[in-house]
Structures are given as structure tokens and as C-alpha cells.
Structure 1
Amino acid sequence: MKLHKILGDIRKADQDYGLIQDGDRIGVGVSGGKDSMVLLTALHMYAKFCDRRFEVVGIHIKLGFPNMDFQEVTQFCEHLGIEFHQIDSKVYEILKRNLDKNGRIRCSLCSKFKKATVNQAAKDLHCNKVAFGHHSDDAIETLLMNAIHGGKLATFLPKMHLSNDDITFIRPLIYAHENDILNAQMLNDIPFVKSTCPNDGYTERQAMKDMLNHFYEQYPMAKKNFIRMLYNEEQLCLWKREDDHKRIKEEARKPIVLLQEQDNTLLQRGHKTFLCYHPQENPAMLRKLKISDDEKEALLHHTTTFQEIIAKYAK
């Protein structure tokens, strides 16, 4: 397998966002498309040389769309020794009973059902994390779709813990470009299953993808800068009303709590910057806590705790 570029992108995302810990059992959501199949293959290979031991499990939710044959995918997984499960569902039947006003399947409803079903399947298979094949192009498209249709600057996170389900979403391909994924699929002859969803090719996301590709032809540097913008939050410069400043000052006095999953692991790797959030807020509203060398040593020797440091900075 020649997946050097994709494996490099996965390793960088893992290092930057602490996606994978020792002992993880990761369920990869496999739609059958090229993105998810490349992710499943690459993550299986990454597990062989990563300095942490983890397991990779392929999970395909059988939505019920007609003429989707996974026999070749199943044989491919057997050949590589990848654990692969197909889970029956009634998603398509439910979608057909809840069409939009134009008689089309609701993509947002389908997405919710798929995530809920793959979450449950992952828990049934004793997975603590679910990996999705979203890549950097998807992140940019989501950002602009939220801006246009929702009036907000937001996209999905590389890592997000769902406390209600006690499971963590990760997106190891967050730094990978769609073209690199397509090249990896063709170069390694990784099988895929073409979607038979009636909306395929006629969605808002496809329209955004087409618009961006046209835009990149005129401004080729834009894609790189869009991606840089997503993790360069210190350069964010948006309008703030006076009421917003007062609210921010009040919130700054509230105690903040550390995201539990990545504190000690990242600390032991030498990191000194950690992600925090207010307990009253959505965990997606992340903030940074930077500790000193003395505080790092104190944490490593268990003479202080993150909570004590956080409380000091929150005063």
C-alpha cells in the first residue's frame, strides 16, 4: 500500500488534536465511498506503526438504498485482516415517509439517523470512538454553508466528545485534501461502492463544492488559506457589540474545566497548551489554557492539579 501522504496527514492531525489514545477501539463509519474506504485502510496501517496500541473496526450502516453491493469491500477487509461489520437499519424507509416539500429525501434527517445508528453500533461493538472520513475540503464547505444558510462561522471539529452517548467523534483526515484521497484510492485500487441515494450529486454541499472549485481556479491560494484560517483562531477579527464585551468579561470570571480526555496524555508528551471550556457552554466553544514550565513539572509530579491551575487563572 502506498499511502504515505495520507498517513502523514493522519499523524499530524493525531499529534495536533490528540485523536488517538493507547487502548482505543475505533469504529470507522464506512459509507462505502472513497473517503471512508481510504480512511479505514489508512487507519488500519497507522495502527501498525503508531506508538500507541489501538484497534480499528469498520462499521457500515445498511441504510436500505437499492443496489449497493459490499461484497468487494468485505473481501478487501478480509484480505487485510480488518474487522468489518454491516448493520441492518430502516433508515431509508423512515426517510421515504418524511420527504421535504419537493418530495426529496431530507439530507439533514438522514445525517442524524446515520450518526445515531453508527453510535449505537459502535457502542454495541465496544468501541469508545467513531472516526469519520471528513477531510479539509469538507471542512471548508461546511464553514461556508453555515455562513450562507446559518449566519455563523462554524465547521465540524477534529475531535468532539458526546457526553450523553459517552463516545468520541474523531476526524483523522482533517488535514487531507480530497484530491490526495482520490489519488490514494486509485493508486492502491481500494474498492468503493457508489452511492445510489437519489440526492447524490444534487445537494447543497455539491453546489458549494462546484462553486469553490470554480473559485479556486481564479484564486488557487485560497484553499490553503481557508484551511489555515480554521486553526488560526488568534487571527479572528469579527465585530463585537458593547453588550458582547460585558458578557465576555462576566464569563471570564466563571470557572473553566479541562476537557478530560486529552490532559495527562498530552502533558506527558510535552504539551503545555490545553483546551478548556465553560461548563455552561457547549464543549465546542473551546478556549486555550497555557501552563508554565513550573506548572508542567508540578503536574507531572502530582503536586498540583489542572483544576487548581485553572482556578488560579479564573480569578
Structure 2
Amino acid sequence: MQESVERKDKLEFNKLQKRLRRLVGSAIVDFNMIEAGDKVMVCLSGGKDSYAMLDILLSLQKTAPIHFDLVAVNLDQKQPGFPEDVLPRYLREQGVAFHILEKDTYSVVKEKIPEGKTTCGLCSRLRRGTLYSFAEKIGATKIALGHHRDDMVETLFLNMFYGSKLSAMPPKLRASDGRNIVIRPLAYCKESDLEAFAEAKSFPIIPCNLCGSQENLQRQNIKQMLAQWERAHPGRIEQIFGAMQNIAPSQMADRNLFNFVDLTLDRSGEREAYEFDEASISDWSDGEQAKPAASSVVQFIDAVNV
């Protein structure tokens, strides 16, 4: 009986590992994340996602048709109680080239952010600046972050609800100054799969005591909302992520993204038949002639404001 259970567990793990490798490989190809000769700086936080990302990239590196280098980088932010020995020991065991950066962003965040307020925004900005500059220093051509599909969907709703902006985490991003390119190889991966993978691999997880333990974070509220939707309507998160890949600018309301002002009629040529385009017409007249339309947008606005 025990052997049967173990065989089943091993089979399930193999399926999970293959699925994650396939999804990461698909994301890399779809967004041209890694190219021949790249030096990929894999940002390792000590959480399940970054461990899984490194593990999968190391596996793909062995079979990829192109050559690329991987180097792991961890930023020690000097959080109280941070176990400094865990990551170096794990990376040495895996035979991975790595760097440990030390920068006391913890003190900066605690000084700047009032007690009880969300620290994630400032923390991530400080971390990003340090990692971007170090990527240039070591000649890394890509910076790999461990954000997954659920992170990207959560960010979409965070920006909608709290920032009045329709944006998320892109799978691939060029920094605003053009000096770095960020990739998210886990873009197609579900968080639940990564949790199962991390548990099966027994990664030495390091909890975040700076921001991850804060209660009532906006992201936690969004996560709970999405979890409720997923329970009520399985596949809802996958549908939302699919929508993020199938955007129709003309069906939104962003005047910078689509030119609504200069839309014109074009009735040249034969049109295709509309469904149910024939309708019965009743005579109607109230004795008044229709008023002519305003000749310009300005006239229209002036008329409304009278």
C-alpha cells in the first residue's frame, strides 16, 4: 500500500514538474525572454516562487537549444532575524553561481512608513533600484523575477481599484531608462502549482517579516476576492489572465491609446448583411422637424453648456 502511494505521488510530481517546465518554456518563447548569449540574473528572495523559478530555469538550461548563463542574486535587506546562511548554503549545494547583496532597506522603510501602513511599495522601489544597478555591474542582460500568473492578475485589480489605472505586471518589461530588461518566466504558472512544487522539493523557504506578514494589505484583499471568485466559478482567474492577453483598445475608453475623435463613416462598397437587419417601420411624426446636428465638437460643447 505504501509503495503504491509513493508511486502515485511520484507520478503526480512528474506531471507537475513537466507542466511547469512546459509553461515556463512557452512563456520564454512567446515573449522572447531569453536569447542566445544572455546572462540572466535570477533574483532569489527565499520564497517559494523564486526557488521554483531558479530550479526550472536550471533544468531548461540543460536542454535548451541556445546557450545562456544563470547567476542567482539575493538582496539581504537586513530584516531582523533574517537567516543569512540559508540561501548561500542552498546555492552552494546546487552548484549555482551567486551573489549576496547587503543593503539596509529595512531601516529606511521603517523610518519612512508609519506603523501599520503598507510598506510594500517603498520596499519594492528600493529593492528594484539596487538590483537594477547590480545587473549593470555584472553585465546581466536580463533580470528574472518570480512573479506568477496570479500575481499579475492581482496587480491588475490593485491598479484598477486603488490607482484608477488598467495595467498589470507584463511578462517582459524594459525599464523606463532602457538600461535593463525584466522577465517573468513564471507568467503562465498558477500559484497553487508552485506551492505544490515547492513543498515536493522541500525548498528552504524564508518568510518575509517586513511586508508579507502585515495584515489587511490591499493585495491580500484582492487575493481573497479572487479566491472567492475562483471557488464560485472555477477557471475565473484563467479567464481574466486570458483577457489580459486579448485587449481591444477600440472597446475601451483611453483616448491616448485609440483615436476616437477622428472616427469617420465609411459606407463605400457593399456591406455584409447584418443579423436581423430588417425591421417593421411605423409612420411617426410629431409635426416638428429634426434639428440639424452641431457642425463641430466645439459647437456641441457650447450648446450643452448654454
For normalisation by structure 1, the TM-score amounts to 0.73
Deviations 1:150-183 (A, max 9, x none): 1121111111122626111000000000011111
Tell me what 1:311 maps to. none
Determine the C-alpha separation between the residues in 2 that align with 1:221 and 1:138: 16
Tell me what 2:261 maps to. 246
Determine the C-alpha separation between the residues in 2 that align with 1:232 and 1:169: 22
Query: Does structure 2 retain, via aligned residues, the 8 Å contact 1:33–1:194?
Result: yes
For 1:158, which of 167, 171, 190 is the aligned residue? 171
**Is residue 14 of structure 1 aligned with residue 14 of structure 2?**
no
Greater Cα shift, 213-222 or 129-138: 213-222
Determine the C-alpha separation between the residues in 2 that align with 1:215 and 1:166: 39
**Is residue 180 of structure 1 aligned with residue 193 of structure 2?**
yes
The number of residue pairs the alignment matches comes to 248
Report the aligned-residue RMSD: 2.4
Query: Does structure 2 retain, via aligned residues, the 8 Å contact 1:57–1:83?
Result: yes
Aligned in 2, Cα 1:163/1:154: closer, same or farther, shift over 3 Å? closer
**Is residue 123 of structure 1 aligned with residue 116 of structure 2?**
no
Tell me what 1:62 maps to. 76
Q: Secondary structure at the match of 2:81?
A: coil
**Is residue 224 of structure 1 aligned with residue 231 of structure 2?**
no
Shift of 1:145: 0.8
User: Which protein is richer in strand relative to its size?
Assistant: 1
Determine the C-alpha separation between the residues in 2 that align with 1:224 and 1:160: 22
For 2:63, which of 37, 49, 72 is the aligned residue? 49
Determine the C-alpha separation between the residues in 2 that align with 1:248 and 1:227: 30
Aligned in 2, Cα 1:7/1:244: closer, same or farther, shift over 3 Å? same
Query: Does structure 2 retain, via aligned residues, the 8 Å contact 1:95–1:105?
Result: no
Tell me what 1:213 maps to. 227
Determine the C-alpha separation between the residues in 2 that align with 1:247 and 1:77: 58
Q: Which amino acid aligns with 2:60?
A: Y
Query: Does structure 1 retain, via aligned residues, the 8 Å contact 2:76–2:103?
Result: yes
Q: How does 1:248-263 map to 2 (within 5 A)?
A: none
Aligned in 2, Cα 1:165/1:66: closer, same or farther, shift over 3 Å? farther
Gapped runs of 5+ residues in structure 1? 250-315
Tell me what 2:6 maps to. none
Shift of 1:104: 3.6
Shift of 1:211: 1.6
Shift of 1:106: 2.7
For 2:181, which of 168, 175, 184 is the aligned residue? 168
Query: Does structure 2 retain, via aligned residues, the 8 Å contact 1:59–1:121?
Result: no
Query: What's the % identity of the aligned pairs?
Result: 25
Determine the C-alpha separation between the residues in 2 that align with 1:168 and 1:224: 26
Deviations 1:191-250 (A, max 9, x none): 22111215525221112111211121111121121111111124873246799513799x
Determine the C-alpha separation between the residues in 2 that align with 1:198 and 1:112: 13
Gapped runs of 5+ residues in structure 2? 1-12, 265-306
